[in-house]
Amino acid sequence: MSAQVIVMASYADERKSSVAPIAESVDEVIVATRYPASFVPLFERPEVQEWLRRFFAALIPPVIGMAIFLAAWSLVAAGTDYLPGPMKTWEAARLLFAHPFYINGPNDMGVGWNVFNSLKRVGLGFGMAALVGIPLGFLLGRFAAMSRAFSPIISLLRPVSPLAWLPIGLAVFQAANPAAIFTIFICSIWPMIINTMLGVISVPQDYLNVARVLRLSEWKVFTRILLPATIPFVLAGAKLSLGIAWLAIVASEMLTGGTGIGFWLWDEWNNLNMEHILIAIIVIGVVGLFLEKGMTLIARRFDYRQN
């Protein structure tokens, strides 16, 4: 009676060599396969392993950094009476974000409405700065005489602190909301002007010489040469301006009052609610991070140098 050996394998080709020594001492080897010979398990595929390697390489360092931050926060909070720790702040945040859009009056709104009001002011001030700053940057980069005329003014006003513009806005508009929008506008316009101007200046002179030979109109020079070449510079300036706008609105709202994340932070300080102050700081940071990442994605999408 002949002996039989049944070998279970995922795929036959790789198992035949492993049973060859057995085959010499038995009459028959039956290789039973569960899958086709070309089948490769999911986690043994090279592309899946490469994706997992990149995923964990990107995930583990931030997790370690956050753990160190929370540990340091806990140690500092344990040694002081006024600073709440992470768990106490988390419990307050859970209650706070359970109803983020309540309204109990013009100056008593949920954190969601305060963030929305701040973003609305930032959108208005940033949008007006883009409408003025980007065309002005093109003009300054295109015409050297205009650049020489306005460069001293830009150099003088650009370093001024956002809070220094707030009294001017209050004096001109006689209201807190337009004064805050004016502060955002005046603070966020400079990076757009400067980056756009540098982008125009960096366009190779050969392109402009060809346009002059072809006798292209100034509008065609702008749409066919300058604009496509300077889009990365324009978006880089817009990214910087948006970050400055978000910084400026928080400081402005702390002084002008009304609604907004800055006003809410200052109001919680007056109420000595340290948990809500820490939550406001985290919310400001998270919103600023999302704004920056959003502008980065837009800049990469339209950056011809990375396509």
**Mean pLDDT value across residues 121-128:** 94
For the purposes of burial, counting CB atoms within 10 Å of the CB of 255, is it exposed (0-12), middle (13-18) or buried (19 or more)? Answer: middle
Q: What kind and span of H or E run contains 30?
A: strand 28-33
Helix locations, 158-260, DSSP H: 162-173, 176-201, 205-213, 218-221, 227-256
**Mean pLDDT value across residues 266-280:** 90
302 forms beta bridges with: none
SS3 29: strand
Instruction: Give the residue with greater pLDDT, 254 vs 3.
Output: 254
Q: Does position 44 have pLDDT exceeding 50, yes or no?
A: yes
Q: Using CA atoms, how far apart are residues 15 and 188, in angstroms rounded to an integer?
A: 67
pLDDT tier for residue 119 given thresholds of 50, 70 and 90: very high
Share the mean pLDDT of the chain: 82
Q: Does position 7 have pLDDT exceeding 60, yes or no?
A: no
- The pLDDT value given to residue 144: 87
Amino acid identity at 295: M
**Mean pLDDT value across residues 263-273:** 88
CATH class of 103-306: mainly alpha
What pTM does this model have? 0.76
Q: What kind and span of H or E run contains 79?
A: none
Percent of the chain with pLDDT over 70: 85
Bin 7: left if φ > 0, else alpha if -120 < ψ < 50, else beta: beta
Q: What kind and span of H or E run contains 174?
A: none
Residue listed under structure tokens 């400079």: 190
CA distance from start to end of the chain: 70
Q: Does position 124 have pLDDT exceeding 80, yes or no?
A: yes
Structure tokens at 287: 């919103």
Structure tokens at 236: 């880089």
Instruction: Give the residue with greater pLDDT, 21 vs 284.
Output: 284
Give the pLDDT confidence of 175-213 residue by residue, as tens digits. 888 999 999 999 999 999 999 999 999 888 888 888 888
- The pLDDT value given to residue 64: 92
Whether residue 199 contacts residue 173, with contact meaning beta carbons closer than 8 Å, is answered with no
Question: Domains of the chain: which residue ranges?
Answer: 4-33, 47-83, 103-306
